[in-house]
Every structure is written in C-alpha cells, then in structure tokens.
Amino acid sequence: MLFFIFLSGHTYSQKISKTLSIERIRLKNMAFCDCVTYASLSSKDSVLIVNDGSAAGYFELGNYSKEAYGLIDSLAKEYSKISYPSKEGRSLIFMKCLDFYNSKQLQNAIIKSDKYLLINNKN
C-alpha cells in the first residue's frame, strides 16, 4: 500500500514537472514572438510580422494569469528597443530577438512567472 501511494505521488510530481516545462516553453516562445513584433513595428523593414498572430496563439494555449503575460510582454518590448547595428545597415530583428530568447534575463522572468501558473485551467 505504501509503495502505491509513493508511486502515485511520484507520477503526479512528474505530471506537474512536465506541465511546468511545457508552459515555460510556451511563455518563452510568446516572448520571442512579442520581441519580433515590437522590433518590426519600429523598423523600416517591417516585413511580415505586424499581422502575425503567433504571440496571441501562445497566449491562448498558455495557463498563466495575465500578470505573467504582462511581465514577459514588457520585457520583450524593452528588449526590442535595443540597437543592433549591422555592418551593412541591414535589420537584425531575428538576431536581437533570438538573443533575448536565450537570455538569462528572460529565463529568470519565466521562472519568476511560475507563481502565476494556473495549472489545470485550460488543458
């Protein structure tokens, strides 16, 4: 009996861990999409991003409260304003946003957003 209780507790813990991992990836992906959108809006090379709904898609799939999305969106907006000059004068929007996507700053913000996770709200 004790083994069964331990096993079911371990399975639940694995499920929570997997859910957390999936939700963090969605939030991180949304951050990238937000960054690209904001950077495109302020760029003369705004190619295709303005009408893209990817960030909204990640928002719809996610299970965080609005506070988490607001925090990540604000970070993406601020990061998109950083100047990334090219030697040839070309736009480096994706480079800038991939740097943001892989930044410690974003990683820390996503971990801090765990407190806003609403588990079992939409799945």
pLDDT in tens, 46-101: 655 667 889 999 999 999 999 999 999 999 999 999 999 999 988 899 999 999 99
Task: Extract the tokens encoding 96.
Answer: 């800038």
- In this structure, whether the domain defined by 2-116 belongs to CATH 1.20.120.1620 is answered with yes
Beta-bridge partners for 64 = 117
The confidence score (pLDDT) of residue 48 equals 55
Q: How far is CA 42 from the centre of its chain?
A: 21
- Whole-number Å distance between alpha carbons of 29 and 54: 9
- Whole-number Å distance between alpha carbons of 118 and 98: 27
pLDDT band at 121 (very low <50, low <70, confident <90, very high): very low
The confidence score (pLDDT) of residue 45 equals 61
Q: Considering the entire predicted model, what is its pTM?
A: 0.82
The pair phi, psi for residue 106, each rounded to 5°, is -70, -45
